Every structure is written in structure tokens, then in C-alpha cells.
Amino acid sequence: MSQVIDHPKNAAIFNKDAERVSWHDKALWHVREKRDVSAASIPEWEELRSLASQIKKHTLSKLDHYLLEFEAKASANGIKVHWAEDAEAHNQIVASILKEAKATQVVKSKSMLTEECGLNHHLEAQGVSIIDTDLGERIVQLAGEHPSHIVLPAIHKKKEEVSALFHEKLQTEKGNNDPDYLTKAARKHLREKFMKAEAAITGVNFAVAETGGFVVCTNEGNVDMGTNIAPIHIACMGIEKLIPKMEHLGVFLRLLARSATGQAITTYSSHFHRPRKGQQMHLILVDNKRTEQLNRPKFRASLNCIRCGACMNTCPIYRRSGGHSYEHIIPGPIGSILSPGKDLKKYSSLPFASTLCGSCSNVCPVKIDIHTQLYEWRQIIGKEQSLNKTKRKINQWTGTLMAKPKAFHGFGKIARTSLRILPDALINNPLNVWGKQRDLPEAPKESFLEWYKNNEQHES
């Protein structure tokens, strides 16, 4: 039986370091603000979002057709296409390709799919050296951790921690925290890995059914370094990454970088259509329960996700609890929709890691109704009794109270009065989780309903 993830407990651990919580929150909100500025510079931004959503919806409705079209075109281009039903099949395919070529030195660009499949551990167990070449990914790999964010994998680490890690693993100067120095040290270290690589593994951001080609977006050029040197290129792709035509690509490229970091476009959008002369190019199409999600009408739109991370940057819970608290490869709001589809019992706490404020849905470039789907999962989890006892009892009590209007309004009046007259020491007690890092707002003298009725009478 898989261990049940306890997000509140994990968040409490992250919250013990108040300074880290503060700068983690500010750093991600800064990215969110950059996204807002960038999006506002495009007059047709909302039209782009609607168009992207419609393209994705159409593609998912004919996914089998487009997958077969893509396979035929890619094969005709000289790409060897493989199909993997689950993570184990994916890992075995990669391992068999490397084994046949007797390749043991591998470089990998950032790929959340390979993280999802646990590819690194699988290959390392077989004696393969696999090096993540995205700087953030390499930092967490050296630290023996998973990424805490899908776009900013090491956002949870301070530069002092990176310096100490590089001193231990790469023999850099002790105490030298200069980001420029650390970046150059990482570049020198990775360049040696690129030169020795016998195979390069990449993810896929978008695959085009019409052409049989695919696109990988990076800011560091590490994909191009790996694939242009190594004699074998293995691309790993979730089946939902497909778009029908080349003319659709521009829509998503304009949305992706602006939503992720506020950039107009990623520095490198590398197109691959066929292997270069003398090179092997493999592409693995991975399901791993995506068709199960496709068959859930209320959650199907979650497969529209283009992995920009915008929902994480804006989520007040993610910003203050850290990506590792979710214990899922895709953390944050979108991960809290996807993870219950993988294992409802294990990830039953994640749909509750949200205020349901809707900010995640507002920034999603493909208009996924994230907060609505989080609410839907809560209903399912509640009905299947997967909640812990405390949360279940609170929900039952709250439901009973809210079903009796007189009792609810009476309780509200008592609570508002108590908050106004009781001393702070009593209100901010250990049971008041909210009060650990902030004061409660001043309680009003009347409820909204009372205010509305009073003002309605005045207006009439």
C-alpha cells in the first residue's frame, strides 16, 4: 500500500523556516508580476488563451487520430517511434536503446516526464551515468532531491546553499556565493559531460502531427548541446503534448514563456524533424494513465496543461508551502488535479491544498478550470471517505451547521463578537494556524447578509 501524502504536515515543516517562506513567496510572486506585465503587452492575450484552449480541446477529442498521424509522419522522417503504456515500459525502452548501443554516458535536458517515470534511478541501477544538464535540475540532482517547481527546479534553494553544494561536489571556492562564478563553474562541469555523452535524452514541449516533428524549449541551450554532439537522441513525450498543425505552434510558444517567466519567448525553441546523418533518433510516446484522465470528463481539461508553472507562481498555498510538500513530481494546483488521477488515496490531501480563490485558473494560458477541478476532487474524496478523521469530522460539523441558517447566523454573531473582545493572546493560540504568521482581520459588527439587508432597505 502506498504511503498517504500529508501535505499539511509537510507544509508545516517548510514553514518552520520563516525567512525561507518569505523569500520563496516573494520570488514566485515577482515571477507572477512579470507574467502580468508581459501578458498585458499583448492586446490579443485573451484571444490567444481561448484559441489555445480550443486547439487542445479539439486535439484531445481526436487524440487517437492525431497520434497515428504523428507516428506515420515521424517514422517517414526517419524517427524510430516507440509506445509505452506506463512508466516501467518507458524506462525499459530507454534502457534497451542504450544497451543495444552500449551507451553508458548520458546527458539529459529537463524533462518532467522522465522525472515522473523515475528514469534516472532506473538507469543508474543499471550502471548508466545520467547527468541532468539544466542548471536547476543539476543542482537538485547533486543535492539528491527532486525539482520543487516544474520551471524553476531549485527555486527553494538559497545561493549560499548552492555554493556549499558546489564546493562539496564540484570543488568550487568555499564561501564564494557569486551567482556568476557559480554559473561558470557549472558550465565548465557540464561541458565535460556533453563532450563525453554517448546519448542525449530530452523532453518534448510540443509535437506536431502534421509534420511528425517536435519542439523542445529551453533557456540554456543545453538541449542543442546534447543532441548535436551525442550520436543518439531519445525524446520522451506524454501523449497529451500533441498539436495538430504547424500553424498552431506559434499560439503556444507565445503563451508558454510569457506565462512561465514573463519572457516574450524562450531563448531556444529547438525543432527536431529527423535524425542528422549517422545519428539515431528515438521518440517514446508515453501514456502512464493519461488515457484514464482523458476518460474523466470533469478532469479531461487538465491534459491541456503546457507545463508553464504559472498556477504555482500565483498560488498562495504553493508559495508558502514549497513544492516538496506536495511529494508529487508536478506540484501546485495543476499537480493537485493530476495526482489523484494516479492514486486517489495517496494524494487525497492535495486537492485541499488550495484556497479555491481561482487565481490559478485566471493565469492558466490554456484556460484550465483548475480551482473547479480541485473542488470536484474534494467531492469525490469526501464521498469515498478518503479524508482523515479530523477533516471529515470538521466537514460533517460544518455541513450540519450551514444546513441550519439560524444556527449558522447565530454562530457567526458569536464568532465576530468573540474576535472583537477577546485578548490577542487567547485568539492567537496554538490551535489558530492562521495566526502563526499574521493577525486575523478585524471582525465586522455585522455579517454580509445583515449589511446587504440594511443597505437594501436604505436604497428602497
Between the alpha carbon of residue 457 and those of residues 445, 451, 452, the distances in Å are 18, 10, 9
Strands (E), 249-380: 268-272, 280-286
pLDDT tens digits, one per residue of 33-86: 999 999 999 999 999 999 999 999 999 999 999 999 999 999 999 999 999 999
Local structure of 48: helix, strand or coil: helix
Residue 458: its pLDDT value, please?
63
Q: Which of 114, 115, 157 is nearest to 136 (CA)?
A: 157
d(CA 29, CA 313): 6
Angle CA 116–342–217, to nearest 5: 35
pLDDT digits (tens, 9 = 90+) for 334-351: 999 999 999 998 999 999
Distance of CA 183 to the CA centre of its chain: 24
Q: Which residues of 187-199 are buried (b: 16+ CB within 10 A; e: fewer)?
A: eebbeebbeebbb
Q: Model's pTM, two decimal places?
A: 0.89
All 3 cell numbers of residue 397? 460539523
Burial 366-400 (b: 16+ CB within 10 A, else e): bbbbbbebbebbbebbbeeebbeeeeeeeeeeeee
Q: How many CB atoms lie within 10 A of CB 172?
A: 21
CA torsion 31→33→35→39, rounded to 10°? -170
Nearest to 211 by CA among 315, 70, 422: 70
pLDDT at residue number 2: 67
Q: Which helix (H) or strand (E) holds 111?
A: none
208 backbone dihedrals φ, ψ, rounded to 5°? -110, 115
Q: What is the pLDDT along the chain (460 residues), one digit of tens a residue?
A: 568 899 999 999 999 998 999 999 999 999 999 999 999 999 999 999 999 999 999 999 999 999 999 999 999 999 999 999 999 999 999 999 999 999 999 999 989 999 999 999 999 999 999 999 999 999 999 999 999 999 999 999 999 999 999 999 999 999 999 999 999 999 999 999 999 999 999 999 999 999 999 999 999 999 999 999 999 999 999 999 999 999 999 999 999 999 999 999 999 999 999 999 999 999 999 999 999 999 999 999 999 999 999 999 999 999 999 999 999 999 999 999 999 999 998 999 999 999 999 999 999 999 999 999 999 999 999 888 667 777 788 888 888 999 999 999 999 999 999 888 888 878 887 777 777 667 778 889 899 988 998 887 666 5
